Amino acid sequence: MWKLENQNIQIGFDGQARLSLLSMGGGNAIAAPSSTSFKLVFKKGENWENTVVSGGQSFTVREEPGAVTFTARTLEYSGGTAQIGLRLTVRLDGEHLRFSAEIDNREPDAWVTDFEYPYIGVVRSLGGDGAGPDLLFPIQSGMRVPDVGRFLSGHGDSEVGSTTFGFGPSREIGNCSFGTTYPGYASMQWMALEGSGRTLFLQSQDADHHVTDLRVLGAPTAEGDITLVLDKLAFVREGETWQAPDAVLSFYAGSWHKGADLYAGWAKTWRPSHEKPEWVKNMNGYYLVIMKQQFGTEMWPYHTIPKLYELAKATGCDTVGLFGWYDSGHDNQYPDLKVSESLGGAQALKDGIRQVQEEGGSVTLYYQGHLIDTTTEFYQNGGDQYVCRSKDGIPYLEWYNKAHNSTYLKYFTNKSFATSCPCCPEWRELMEEKAEWVRSFGPDGVLYDQIGGMPPRPCFDERHPHPKGKPSLSMPGGRKLLMDGIQRRTKELDSQYGFFSEHITDVYSAYLDGVHGISSYPSGEGDWGSGAKGVHNCPELFRYCFPETIITIRNPRPYLEKRAVNYACAYGFRFELEVRYDGDCDDVLSGRYAQENLYAKQAGDLRRRHWDLLGLGRFVDGLPLRWENEAVLAKAFENGDRMAVVLWNDSGGPQDVRLEAPGWEAGSVDSTEGPLPALPESMEPQQLLVQVFRRRNA
C-alpha cells in the first residue's frame, strides 16, 4: 500500500491505484476498495465500447512529498493492448485530496469517449457507529437520500428509474445506481455523504464544464455499499493528450457546508457576475400565463393583460409572464413567431403591457431558445444546419404535447422539435436579434425557455465550431456563449431589460437575471433534514452555494398551496403559479382559490415588510442558529449587521420553539397575521414566523 498522511487525514492506495484507506483520527471510511480506480471507454473501428479498468494494468508508481502517481504507458483491454497512456496523480492538501489525470491517446483510429475517475468507495459508514450516511445530491436546487446505501440495496434486483443520465436511481449490471448529468438536471459538480458527524465531499473542478455524470453506485446486498464516481465525456482523439479536470475529495468533521464553501469559492474563479435589473431583484412572485395554447385555444386576448396583473396581485405576485402570446400558440413554430392578430394585434399587446407597468407591475414575454419546430420554413430552408446531431448524424428530437381535452391529440399528435446547437454563430445571432424584437413590444424582460439547463447532448456535427473540437463541450460551451450574448444585448437595449430562462444550474444561472425554477416544489410534509424518510428535496444545497441567484418555485397549478408558500419564504424562492389551460382560466376568474390566494398575499406582505433581509439578504441556511426541535424549520438571511430567521412548522401538530442565535440580539417577531409581542413558545401546524436579529457589538 502507498500511503499519504498529515495532521488531518491518512490515505492509502493499492497497486491498482484504488483508494483503500481514508482515515481521520482512527478507523477507515473505506470498507473495501472499489471494483476499479478508473474506467475508460474508447471507440476503435465500429466498436464504441472498448472498455479499460484498473485490473490487469501495469502501473509504475512514483512517490513524492504529499503525492503519489500511477503511470501506465499502454492499457490492456479485451481486444489486446491499446497505445493509450494514463497517468493518475493524487495530492494531499490539508483535509483535501486532489485527483488529477492525463490521457495520452496514441492508438490509431481510437477515440476515448468516457473517462470515469475517481472511484471513491466502498463506503458503508463514515464513523465508528456503523450508521449509513445520507447522500446530498445536486438535482436542480438539491435533494437528500437518507441512508443511501440501504436505499440503493433495496432496489438491487429491479428496474427502479430512468438511466443514470436521467433523474433517479437505475439498474446497472451487478448494482443499482443513482445519478444524473451536469450541466443539466444536475445543477452543480459535487455530491456528498454525510453521517456520524462527518462529511465526505466529492467535487469536480471543471471550468470547461464537460458533460459529466455524477453517479452513486450501490449494491443488491444488505451491507449498504456506496461508491461515488465522476464520469467525464472526454472525447480524446488520436494524437491528443488530455488533462482531465481535477476532482477534489474532502473528508472532515462537520456538515456539508464546509465542502460547499470550497466549491462556491472555486466557482467564483469562472462564474461571471452582472448587475440585475432592480425590478427583478425586488420581484416577489411570477404569475405565468399561456395566452394561446398549442392546439389553438385562445384564452387571454391582449386586452386582458391588465386583468391578469390584477389576478397576480391577489396572489402576492408582481410580475406577469406571458407564454403563448404569439399567433401560433405555445410550443409551435419556433423560431418563426409573430404577433397574433386574433388576440388583438401589436398595439393591443403594447397597450396591455404598458398599463401593467403604469400600475406598478412587470411583464416578461416568452421566447424559445432551444427548440426548432421541424415544420417551419426556418428549419426547411437552412435552419436544419444549426441543430445538434447525434453520432449517426441524426438531429436530436424532442416532442411536446399540450393537449388538454382531446384524447386524439393527446395520444396521436406530438409536435416534433429539433434541438439547436448553440455553438452555431448564426443561431446565437438570431437569438440576440429576437431579444430586440421582443423588446419592441415594451416588456420588462424576456424568458428564453430551456437554455438554462436542458440535458447537454453532445453534438457531432463537425461543421459547428465546438470548443476544443469536443462534442461534450458543444452544449455547455455553446450555451455560455449564447447566454452571454443575450445578457449583453438585453442590457445594451436597456439596463433594466431582464433575461430569464428555465432550470437551475450554477454555470448558466450566472448569465441570467432570474431563473424559472424546475423541480423546486416542496417534498412531502416534514421531509426535511437527515431524520426524514425517503428521497426528498434539499434546496439549501444550491441556495447556500449561490444565494444571489433569483429562482421561482416551479408550480404548475393556478394557485399556491399553503405549504408551497411557506417553503418559498423559508428558502428565499420567488412565488410562482401557472395558468395554462381553459379550465385554469375558469378557476382563477371564478375565485375558486380565494382562500389560497389570500394566504399567499399575506405571506407576500410579510416578506415585503422584511424585504431588505428576506428578499435582498444572503441565504445562510441554519448556520448561525441553534434550535432543539427539528420539526420546525429555521432558515436565516443576513444583510450586514442584521438577520431575519424564517420559522416554519411543517408538521401535523403544534411544535415547541426554542431558537437561539449566538452573537445576535433578538428583535421583533412578525407573522402572516401581523406583528407579535415575542416569539411564541409553540407554533401551530403550517404557521410561518419571522424573527429579526441584530449582530451584537455591531
Structural domains counted in the chain: 3
Residue 197 in any domain: the answer is yes
Please give the pLDDT value at position 170: 42
Q: Name the more confident of 457 and 518.
A: 457
287 and 221 fall within a common domain: no
- pLDDT digits 0-9 by tens, 571-589: 999 999 999 999 999 999 9
- Taking the chain, what is the end-to-end CA distance rounded to the nearest angstrom? 53
Mean pLDDT for the stretch of residues 367-396: 97
* 265, 289, 305 - which closes a domain: 265
Per-residue confidence (pLDDT) for residue 158, from 0 to 100: 35
Are residue 238 and residue 357 in the same domain, yes or no? no
Q: Could you tell me if residue 164 is inside a domain?
A: yes
Q: What is the pLDDT of residues 154-170, one digit of tens each?
A: 764 433 333 333 334 34
Residue 100, domain CATH: 2.70.98.10
Residue 365 covered by a domain = yes
SS3 of 454, please? coil
Query: Residue 185: pLDDT above 70?
Result: yes
What CATH number is given to the structural domain containing 489? 3.20.20.70
Mean per-residue pLDDT, 430-453 = 97
Cβ partners under 8 Å of residue 697, min gap 6: none
Same domain flag for 158 and 306 = no
Extended beta strands in 557-625, E state:
575-579, 618-621
The pLDDT tens digits of the residues spanning 387-422 come to 999 999 999 999 999 988 899 999 999 899 999 999
Report the pLDDT averaged over residues 591-606.
Answer: 97
Task: Answer yes or no: is 524 within a domain.
Answer: no
pLDDT at 173 over 80: no
Report the C-alpha gap between 183 and 26 in whole angstroms: 37
Please report the pLDDT score of residue 179 as a whole number. 86
**What pLDDT does 328 receive?**
96
To the nearest 10 degrees (0 to 180), the angle between helices 562-571 and 594-609 is: 20
Segment 683-688 mean pLDDT: 96
What are 98-141's pLDDT values in tens digits? 999 999 999 999 999 999 999 998 999 999 888 999 999 999 99
Residue 353 placed within a domain? yes
In this structure, the strands spanning 498-502 and 514-516 are: parallel
Q: What is the pLDDT of residue 155?
A: 60
pLDDT of 546 over the 50 cut = yes
Residue 680 within a domain = yes
Residue 611 counted as domain residue: no
Query: In the prediction, which pLDDT does 532 show?
Result: 64
Do 36 and 165 fall into the same domain? yes
Do 335 and 425 reside in the same domain of the chain? yes
Query: Which of 265, 292, 317 is the endpoint of a domain?
Result: 265
Q: Is residue 246 part of a domain?
A: yes
User: Do strands 10-13 and 19-23 pair parallel, antiparallel, or not at all (unpaired)?
Assistant: antiparallel
- Provide, rounded to the nearest whole percent, the portion of the chain with pLDDT above 70: 96
The CATH number of the domain holding residue 624 is 2.60.40.1180
- Cβ-contact 37, 19 below 8 angstroms: yes
Is 59 found in the same domain as 148?
yes
Q: What pLDDT score was predicted for residue 392?
A: 95
Compute the average pLDDT of residues 669-673: 97
Task: Please indicate, yes or no, whether residues 8 and 47 belong to a single structural domain of this protein.
Answer: yes
Position 271: which residue type? R
SS3 of residue 261 by DSSP: helix
486 SS3 class? helix
CA distance 150 to 134: 10
Range of the domain at 320: 278-517+552-587
Give the residue from 587, 608, 631 where a domain finishes: 587
Nearest 5 degrees, angle CA 181-CA 287-CA 285? 80
Tell me the average pLDDT across 659-683: 96
Q: How far apart are CA 83 and CA 669, in angstroms?
A: 69
- pLDDT tens figures, 262-277: 999 999 999 999 999 9
Predicted confidence at residue 162, as pLDDT, reads 31
Q: Are 657 and 579 contained in the same domain?
A: no
578 and 642 assigned to the same domain: no
Distances (CA, A) of 229 to 183, 214, 354: 16, 6, 52
Q: Are both 138 and 229 inside the same structural domain? A: yes
Burial 413-430 (b: 16+ CB within 10 A, else e): eebebbbbbbbbeebbeb
Mean per-residue pLDDT over the chain, rounded: 93
The residue type found at 622 is G
Both 194 and 308 in one domain: the answer is: no
pLDDT recorded at residue 519: 73
Q: pLDDT tens digits, residue range 42-80?
A: 999 999 999 999 999 999 999 999 999 999 999 999 999
Q: What angle do CA 308, 314, 318 make, to 5 degrees?
A: 65
Q: Tell whether 50 and 84 lie within a shared domain.
A: yes
